[in-house]
Amino acid sequence: MDGVRPLLDAVDAATRRGLHAAGYVAYEAAPAFDPALAAHPRLEGLPLACFFLYREPLRVPMAELSPPAGAGWAFGPWQPGCSREAYDEALERVRTWIAAGDTYQINLTCPMGARFEGAPFAAFLDLHRGQRSGECAFLNCGGRSILSLSPELFFRLDGGLLETRPMKGTIARGRWPEEDREQAQRLIESPKERAENVMIVDLLRNDMGRISDTGSVAVSSLFDTERYRTLWQMTSTVRARTGASLGEIFGALFPSGSVTGAPKVRAMQIIRELEPEPRGVYCGAVGRAGPGGKARFNVAIRTILLDAAAGEARYSVGSGVTWDSRAGSEHAECLLKAEVLRGPAEPFHLLETLLWDGRAFPMEREHLERMAASADYFDYPFDALAARKALMDAAAPWAGNSAKVRLLLGEDGFFSAEGGPVPEAGEFLLALADTPVQDTEVFLFHKTTRRAVYENARAAHPEAGDVLLWNTRGELTESCIANAAFLLGGRWLTPPVPCGLLPGVMRRRLLESGRISEGVVRVSDLPDVRGIALFNAVRGWMPARLMP
């Protein structure tokens, strides 16, 4: 414990000599800065702080980094270190302390463990590719590796300007663009999430005031939203002027109030009592420092500690508990934050299939609007001019003739397109899918090359022209190649998007024209249905019927 502060002073001295440093400070190092900050003894075999010195950084864009050929990796099943019952009991104890006036908020965490096989750096690159968080870091510490996928900035120092960006407030992403925007707005307007955020902002303002120029501490933005693969996060930004050293900054701010609660001293005492294990690097800080008074450290959330030789992985999740917290929602938030561990995201392309009438694409605008919306959702670059050029190049051989043109967009922003004959029209014979689709599956709402759901449904019924899909609530959704409408009670009804289906371009036109209306149609309604139609932008309106 006595060596933590001298180590940071040595790092500071090294950067003044022109060297650079990268490393971490573990959560359990907190008492080195203030003995009143309670923490468990450190994790066995893990130093409280560790830094590496180097002369010049080699700057390589993340897109150009790739693991060695054949460097695979895999996690075994993740096992929580605390049961749901234990977590709920701890949460209720926190609410008791809040009621007694001991604290306003506690960041309650739960460790998880799994077996690990493979190359740690390959795992980091794949997981980073899926998260695209701005404060990620990888450290090879000899026997152990630290894979930090954190989106949260602890502090940034640049020539005397100190900035922190605490992150408090979480909500799941929406499944399609409109729902996604609604989720972001719901987060911004949530009284509970705003209260959590303000508490931590006030704590950090006080911490920064201890080392900052008088009157320089200011909240430059409040209640911003940041979007990640699986969730939205609420952040705020606090800035100040300071002449403090690296060790003095850590002494005033560490650990971040966003991972302790408020007030910090009492919060850490409660955490020490409730959590049975040390946190390690998790909830500490990982980052770098360099010449010219520059430094940048993350709050080490979403951080994996790997012991590749032993085949062991450690990860933790947590959430801020306030008086308004309830066990179910807080536990669900923890599980949401563990989604980062699902593994490497399977590559996919965005897809649009357009009708070429021999001279033009009649629904080009609607198709490109939908692709642009999905590109924004998945953080794919989108250039409308490049998309149109790819379409026209693919249509050129079909001048004067109708064609089906398939437009693909990769995560690198590159478009490709190819033309083919328009399939013949005719009545479709339909089979009903054997199993339901999960309306929580994001890819049902975007047209992409990830089509296993549809391919499996069709493979199960080779005798049918297409397959009618339905969800776990027994609601019909669409077919494998088209949206659907059902003549029920004298009206053509098409299932609403939240049932779990693609918002089709032709569907949009039919709704705008009034030919069809939205309405839930259940599998149990099929005996009363007097007509079925499939429709998409290439084939138009297609009559269909269920096979006997």
Q: Which residues contact 180 (CB under 8 A, 6 or more apart)?
A: 173, 174, 227, 377
DSSP 333: H
> Are 293 and 315 a contacting pair, CB within 8 Å?
no
| Cα 74 from Cα 311, distance rounded (Å) | 10
Phi, psi of 403 (to 5 degrees): -155, 160
Count Cβ atoms below 10 Å from residue 66 Cβ, excluding itself.
9
Q: Which residues pair with 418 in a beta bridge?
A: 406
| Cα 403 from Cα 358, distance rounded (Å) | 7
Which residue in the list 168, 264, 337, 404 is annotated as catalytic?
A: 168
Q: What is the 3-state secondary structure (H, E, C) of 186-227?
A: HHHHCHHHHHHHHHHHHHHHHHHHCCECCCCCEEEEEEEEEE
Cα distances from 413 to residues 292, 376, 381, 416, 445, in angstroms, run 37, 11, 5, 10, 20
Which residue in the list 28, 135, 152, 352 is annotated as catalytic?
A: 152
| Cα 139 from Cα 281, distance rounded (Å) | 11
> Are 296 and 163 a contacting pair, CB within 8 Å?
no
Structure tokens of 510?
Answer: 């039919």
Residue labelled with tokens 């990982």: 286
Count Cβ atoms below 10 Å from residue 370 Cβ, excluding itself.
22
**ω before 255 within 30° of 0 (cis)?**
yes
| Cα 227 from Cα 308, distance rounded (Å) | 31
| Cα 311 from Cα 308, distance rounded (Å) | 5
Q: Which residues contact 522 (CB under 8 A, 6 or more apart)?
A: 474, 475, 476
* Residue 152 appears among annotated catalytic residues: yes
**CA 464 from centroid of its chain's CA atoms:** 38
Q: Which residues pair with 296 in a beta bridge?
A: 156, 288
Residues serving a catalytic function are: 152, 168
